[in-house]
């Protein structure tokens, strides 16, 4: 028996709820370029984000080449190294992960999964993408600006970020970075309002909040959080831009640069850190929550079992979202805060482990005695669980002040956040692309290439990031251009670094197999039909695949059940789509 | 799980009140906020997000004010005007505040007439609101030019902490931009009201969606928000 009631379903005419007035494109340009269709916008977002991802991947290669073989590649001097590290971080976190999960998956899946024809404000949605593209162009332009991009580290801490010792600090780099972030935030706000209002106000008949697939819950919560977290970054960016361009001293204390006393005083560098991390920590969960949601759906679908503890999953998502706004200063234990703050923030940080653990247990209990299909999306989903668990456990180390202080600014931190918010969400992104590609294109991705991609990526990621924990425990610092001769760093650390670099090159190269698969399957993939995974959620029940403009044809779907009716005892099929009425579903069901 | 167990979501909704009603709304299908249009919901959520922007600005300013090593200039003296030989502290700010709060009143009246579908009065009141808003921005421009004339710059000022000028220009500038955008949109919507777009459900130029009188109310939400923010700026920047 499923533990969620199949009802209630209203029969009375519903109160005034508007239907979408769709914009009908008149030309190829308004249909595919300046499109107001969320599905096209989603593809545009994903394409741009994946392209930025490839750029950021190449940057990580360059960094690894320097770390693995210091001195061999002379064009990677200290300045270039810092520029690569900064751009890699900022691109991956904001312009790839946030944009891909919310702009890409959010746009594609929200209207389809809640049974809407489109986002509620299609025009604004279109603007959102073009503003995002503008932000990306401004960011990429800094590679070609005088002085190159900023090398301040992705956290852009002042005062160094705007001083002459830092690459781009007194050139264009930091200015372009800050402007790009502000533009991104404006564009995201347009999209984020759409995602949130669509989920809240434009669901199908019968689609209650507690019947929504967890994917929608994850993206919805993350979008809402982003609307509240990005303002802090926006304000920080405005103030730093003023410091850099107008000579104000918001973040600048009295300071000496190259032997010269600067004409600044009274500012607070800590203030920027607070603003940045008030955005930065929720940002971790803005990336993680959509991944949590998507992975729940992947596991449930491919294990043919209802998700374990659906309600707890939803409440855990919301709890994580709320808690993530009161933990930001755990990034600042070594910054010189009042020690009592550290105590408070360590406590809240560790409390987050509870809802997170609930989710991990529920995923495992969903798999328990499930009919597990080890296809490519499922492999990625399983890989996510272990990777996230690993990254989460090292998070417990770093959340404690006394353990964090010695580990801070070592490779241990790099290993931790790459596992938990780098590799883990990207594994979900891959799994999700393999899962939903058939709906987007009508064809399956190639399975053999997919498995090759999976195994090399998964094992490779561990070969890269596991050793970094050891490096960190030995005290190898992060963000160093060259470790050089340090008494406490044994020669084996250098060998390990070379090993990591070689694996990183291989893992990076395998992503080209994935890109090839994406394009090759567009033509040559096996036709998938409308519902190749025999899934319950609404997006698989569209009359046509890929879904046309307006998604549903004449009639909007009516929802009769939650999203997880897999292997219901007595039902004819092992899945009951959300829009299947009870009478049909329970025919021959021998209970009252 | 029998058919009898199914209850009607809408019926359940109408019976309840208070907290139960909120719970019923949130557990219903289609929309979480009953009878709230998409546009209005979006504006409320946008304003929530914008609240975080202004809160961050104000908190950042307060942090800067507390962390400076030099004394903060006294706002009562800085923003005093000498009129007819009498020095009145904060007089211009008081007038600006009065004008902006009054514009909220005219905006509320415009919303009222919009729901009565009174085209002329709505448009006239919106124009009056825009005029008051423009007057506010004009007085702010006067204040800016006066301070600039006296030597206040974002990076320094004659009286004390440099962060005074930085925060002043940043926060009032950001708020003034909000008011300016408000005035522009007031004029656009007033024109639509005047032309009868909302009576004829004429489609928008960009969005190609039918216009409705509710646009006036949504505009009003934004306008009241901008006023409310000013109250906080007034309290925290000028009165502190």
Check if the beta carbon of residue A306 is closer than 8 Å to that of residue A209. Answer: no
CA distance A52 to A95: 7
Check if the beta carbon of residue A423 is closer than 8 Å to that of residue A462. Answer: no
Nearest to A58, CA basis, from A143, A123, A161: A143
With a pLDDT cut of 90, the percent of chain B lying above it is 71
Q: What values do phi and psi take at A10, rounded to 5? A: -75, 145
Check if the beta carbon of residue A145 is closer than 8 Å to that of residue A232. Answer: no
Nearest to A330, CA basis, from A355, A347, A351: A347
Which residue of B1, B32, B208 is in closest CB contact with A6?
Answer: B1
CA distance B60 to A267: 11
pLDDT digits (tens, 9 = 90+) for A203-244: 999 999 999 999 999 999 999 999 999 999 999 999 999 999
Write b or e for each residue in A51-72: b if 16 or more Cβ atoms lie within 10 A of its Cβ, otherwise e. Answer: ebbebbbebbbbbbbbbbebee
Say what the pLDDT of residue A523 is.
Answer: 94
Helices marked H in A156-213 = 173-201
Angle at B20 between CA B16 and CA B24, to 5 degrees: 80
pLDDT digits (tens, 9 = 90+) for A309-356: 999 999 999 999 999 999 999 999 999 888 888 899 999 999 999 999
Question: Residue A275 domain-assigned?
Answer: yes
Q: State yes or no: cis peptide before A356, omega within 30 of 0.
A: no
Q: CA of B46: which chain A residue's CA is closest?
A: A193
Mean pLDDT, range A103-127, rounded to an integer: 95
- Tell me the pTM: 0.94
Q: What pLDDT band is residue A553 in, cutting at 50, 70 and 90? A: confident
Q: What pLDDT band is residue B129 in, cutting at 50, 70 and 90? A: very high
Say what the pLDDT of residue A23 is.
Answer: 78
DSSP state of A257: E
Check if the beta carbon of residue A251 is closer than 8 Å to that of residue A243. Answer: yes
Q: Which two tokens stand for residue B149?
A: 């004339």
Which residue of A120, A227, A235 is in closest CB contact with B56?
Answer: A235
Check if the beta carbon of residue A465 is closer than 8 Å to that of residue A423. Answer: yes
Nearest to B150, CA basis, from B100, B236, B77: B77
Across chain B, what does the average pLDDT equal? 90
Say if domain B37-239 classifies as CATH 3.90.1300.10.
no
Residues of A in contact with B178 (CB under 8 A): none
Q: CA of B40: which chain A residue's CA is closest?
A: A197
Contact flag A248-B63 (C-beta cutoff 8 Å) = no
Check if the beta carbon of residue B89 is closer than 8 Å to that of residue B77. Answer: yes
Residues of B in contact with A315 (CB under 8 A): none
Contact flag A275-B36 (C-beta cutoff 8 Å) = no
Residues of B in contact with A266 (CB under 8 A): 64, 67-70, 161-163
Check if the beta carbon of residue A418 is closer than 8 Å to that of residue A471. Answer: no
Q: Which two tokens stand for residue A34?
A: 């300046």
With a pLDDT cut of 90, the percent of chain A lying above it is 85
Say what the pLDDT of residue B16 is.
Answer: 57
Residue with tokens 């971790």: A284
Domain assignments of chain B as residue spans, ordered by start: 1-35, 37-239
Distance from the B218 Cα atom to the nearest Cα atom in chain A, whole angstroms: 15
Contact flag B166-A266 (C-beta cutoff 8 Å) = no
Q: What values do phi and psi take at A477, rounded to 5? A: -75, 155
Chain A interface test: which of B12, B26, B30 (most A C-beta within 10 Å)? B30
Residue B203 DSSP SS3: strand
Which residue of A197, A268, A278 is in closest CB contact with B38?
Answer: A197
Q: CA of A210: which chain B residue's CA is closest?
A: B27
Nearest to A423, CA basis, from A369, A463, A371, A452: A463
Contact flag A8-B12 (C-beta cutoff 8 Å) = yes
Element (DSSP H or E) covering residue A260: strand A260-261
Say what the pLDDT of residue A6 is.
Answer: 41
Check if the beta carbon of residue A59 is closer than 8 Å to that of residue A87. Answer: yes
Mean pLDDT, range A18-28, rounded to an integer: 74
CA distance B14 to B25: 10
Which structural domain range is residue A384 located in?
Answer: 41-252+270-585
Say what the pLDDT of residue A1 is.
Answer: 36
Write b or e for each residue in A143-177: b if 16 or more Cβ atoms lie within 10 A of its Cβ, otherwise e. Answer: eebebbbbbbbbebbbbbbbbeebbbbbbbbbbbb
Residue B22 pLDDT > 50 = yes
pLDDT digits (tens, 9 = 90+) for A77-101: 999 999 999 999 999 999 999 999 9
Which residue of A189, A200, A203 is in closest CB contact with B41?
Answer: A200
Check if the beta carbon of residue A173 is closer than 8 Å to that of residue A147. Answer: yes
Residues of A in contact with B12 (CB under 8 A): 8
From A16-30, A490-504, B55-69, the region with the lowest mean pLDDT: A16-30
Contact flag B38-A120 (C-beta cutoff 8 Å) = yes
Helices marked H in A442-561 = 447-474, 491-524
Residue with tokens 């090398």: A151
Mean pLDDT, range A423-448, rounded to an integer: 96
Mean pLDDT, range A32-59, rounded to an integer: 96
Say what the pLDDT of residue A281 is.
Answer: 95
CA distance A446 to A515: 11
Check if the beta carbon of residue A35 is closer than 8 Å to that of residue A127. Answer: no
Residue A14 pLDDT > 50 = no
Residue B82 DSSP SS3: strand
Q: CA of B155: which chain A residue's CA is closest?
A: A248
CA distance A318 to A73: 47
Element (DSSP H or E) covering residue B233: helix B214-233
Check if the beta carbon of residue B226 is closer than 8 Å to that of residue B179. Answer: yes
Say what the pLDDT of residue A10 is.
Answer: 42
Distance from the A222 Cα atom to the nearest Cα atom in chain B, whole angstroms: 14
Residue A402 DSSP SS3: helix
From A406-415, A580-589, B94-103, B190-199, the region with the lowest mean pLDDT: A580-589
Say what the pLDDT of residue A584 is.
Answer: 61
Q: State yes or no: cis peptide before A159, omega within 30 of 0.
A: yes
Q: What values do phi and psi take at A575, rounded to 5? A: -145, 145
Say what the pLDDT of residue B6 is.
Answer: 40
Say what the pLDDT of residue B137 is.
Answer: 97
Q: How far is CA B51 from CA A132, A213, B229, in A?
A: 23, 30, 8
Q: Which two tokens stand for residue A589?
A: 């069901």
Residue A249 DSSP SS3: coil
Residue A551 pLDDT > 50 = yes
Nearest to A95, CA basis, from A64, A135, A128, A60: A135
Q: What pLDDT band is residue A258 in, cutting at 50, 70 and 90? A: confident
pLDDT digits (tens, 9 = 90+) for A142-166: 999 999 999 999 999 999 999 998 9
Question: To 10 degrees, what angle do helices A447-474 and A376-399 make?
Answer: 10
Chain centroid to CA A333: 25
Check if the beta carbon of residue A103 is closer than 8 Å to that of residue A128. Answer: yes
Predicted complex ipTM exceeds 0.85: yes
Distance from the A226 Cα atom to the nearest Cα atom in chain B, whole angstroms: 9
Chain B interface test: which of A197, A198, A254 (most B C-beta within 10 Å)? A197
Say what the pLDDT of residue A20 is.
Answer: 63
Q: What CATH number does residue A299 fall under?
A: 1.20.210.10
Residue B57 pLDDT > 90 = yes
Contact flag A248-B26 (C-beta cutoff 8 Å) = no
Nearest to A112, CA basis, from A432, A575, A547, A558: A547
Nearest to A97, CA basis, from A219, A208, A183, A180: A219
CB-defined contacts A:B, below 8 A: 181
Q: Into how many domains does chain A fold?
A: 1
Question: Residue A279 domain-assigned?
Answer: yes
């Amino acid at each position: 028996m499923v533990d969620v009631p199949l009802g209630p379903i209203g029969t009375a005419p519903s109160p005034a709820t508007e239907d979408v007035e769709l914009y009908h494109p008149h030309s190829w340009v308004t249909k595919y370029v300046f499109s107001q269709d969320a599905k096209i916008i989603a593809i545009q977002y994903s394409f741009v984000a994946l392209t930025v991802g490839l750029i950021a991947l190449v940057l990580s290669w360059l960094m690894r080449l320097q770390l693995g073989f210091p001195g061999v590649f002379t064009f990677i001097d200290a300045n270039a190294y810092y520029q690569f590290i900064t751009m890699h971080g900022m691109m991956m976190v904001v312009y790839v992960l946030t944009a891909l999960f919310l702009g890409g998956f959010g746009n594609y899946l929200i209207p389809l999964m809640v049974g809407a024809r489109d986002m509620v404000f299609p025009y604004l949605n279109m603007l959102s993408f073009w503003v995002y593209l503008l932000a990306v162009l401004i960011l990429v332009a800094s590679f070609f600006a005088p002085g190159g991009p900023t090398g301040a580290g992705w956290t852009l801490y002042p005062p160094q970020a705007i001083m002459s010792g830092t690459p781009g600090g007194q050139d264009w780099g930091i200015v372009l970075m800050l402007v790009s972030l502000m533009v991104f935030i404006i564009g995201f706000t347009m999209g984020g309002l759409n995602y949130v209002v669509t989920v809240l106000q434009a669901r199908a008949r019968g689609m209650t909040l507690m019947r929504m697939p967890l994917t929608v819950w994850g993206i919805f919560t993350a979008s809402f959080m982003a609307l509240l977290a990005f303002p802090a970054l926006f304000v920080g960016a405005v103030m730093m831009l003023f410091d850099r361009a107008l000579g104000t001293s918001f973040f600048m204390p009295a300071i000496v640069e190259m032997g010269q006393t600067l004409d600044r005083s009274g500012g607070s560098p800590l203030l920027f850190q607070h603003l940045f991390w008030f955005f930065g920590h929720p940002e971790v969960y803005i990336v993680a929550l959509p991944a949590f949601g998507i992975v729940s759906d992947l596991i449930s679908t491919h294990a043919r079992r209802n998700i374990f503890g659906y309600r707890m999953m939803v409440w855990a998502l919301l709890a994580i979202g709320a808690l993530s706004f009161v933990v930001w200063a755990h990034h600042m234990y070594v910054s010189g805060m009042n020690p009592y703050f550290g105590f408070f923030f360590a406590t809240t940080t560790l409390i987050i482990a509870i809802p997170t653990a609930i989710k991990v247990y529920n995923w495992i209990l969903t798999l328990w005695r499930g009919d597990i299909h080890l296809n490519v999306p499922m492999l990625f989903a399983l890989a996510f669980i272990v990777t996230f668990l690993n990254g989460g456990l090292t998070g417990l180390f770093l959340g404690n002040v006394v353990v964090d202080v010695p580990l801070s600014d070592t490779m241990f931190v790099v290993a931790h956040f790459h596992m938990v918010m780098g590799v883990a969400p990207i594994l979900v992104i891959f799994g999700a692309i393999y899962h939903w590609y058939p709906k987007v294109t009508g064809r399956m991705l190639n399975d053999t290439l997919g498995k090759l991609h999976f195994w090399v990526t998964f094992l490779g990621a561990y070969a890269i990031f596991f050793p970094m924990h050891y490096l960190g425990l030995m005290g190898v610092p992060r963000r160093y251009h060259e470790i050089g001769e340090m008494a406490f760093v044994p020669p084996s650390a250098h060998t390990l670094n070379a090993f990591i670099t070689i694996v990183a090159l291989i893992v990076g190269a395998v992503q080209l197999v994935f890109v090839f698969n994406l394009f090759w399957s567009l033509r040559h993939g096996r036709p998938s039909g409308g519902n190749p995974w025999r899934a319950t959620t609404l997006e698989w029940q569209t009359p046509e695949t890929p879904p046309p403009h307006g998604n549903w044809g004449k009639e909007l779907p009516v929802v009769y059940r939650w999203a997880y009716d897999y292997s219901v005892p007595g039902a004819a099929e092992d899945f009951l789509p959300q829009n299947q009425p009870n009478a049909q579903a329970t025919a021959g069901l021998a209970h009252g | 799980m029998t058919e009898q167990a199914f209850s009607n979501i809408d019926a359940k909704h109408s019976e309840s009140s208070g907290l139960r009603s909120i719970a019923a709304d949130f557990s219903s299908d289609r929309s979480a906020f009953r009878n709230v249009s998409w546009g209005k919901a979006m504006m409320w959520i946008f304003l929530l997000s914008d609240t975080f922007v202004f809160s961050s600005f104000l908190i950042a300013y307060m942090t800067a004010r507390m962390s400076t090593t030099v004394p903060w200039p006294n706002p009562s003296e800085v923003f005093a005007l000498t009129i007819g030989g009498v020095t009145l502290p904060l007089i211009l700010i008081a007038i600006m505040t009065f004008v902006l709060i009054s514009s909220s009143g005219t905006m509320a009246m415009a919303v009222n007439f919009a729901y009565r579908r009174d085209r002329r009065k709505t448009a006239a009141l919106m124009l009056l609101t825009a005029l008051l808003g423009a007057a506010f921005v004009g007085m702010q421009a006067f204040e800016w030019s006066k301070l600039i004339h006296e030597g206040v710059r974002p990076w320094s000022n004659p009286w004390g902490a440099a962060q005074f000028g930085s925060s002043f220009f940043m926060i009032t500038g950001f708020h003034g931009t909000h008011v300016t955008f408000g005035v522009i949109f007031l004029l656009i919507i007033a024109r639509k009201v005047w032309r009868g777009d909302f009576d004829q459900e004429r489609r928008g130029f960009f969005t190609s969606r039918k216009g409705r009188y509710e646009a006036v109310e949504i505009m009003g939400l934004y306008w009241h928000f901008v006023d409310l923010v000013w109250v906080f700026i007034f309290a925290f920047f000028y009165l502190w």
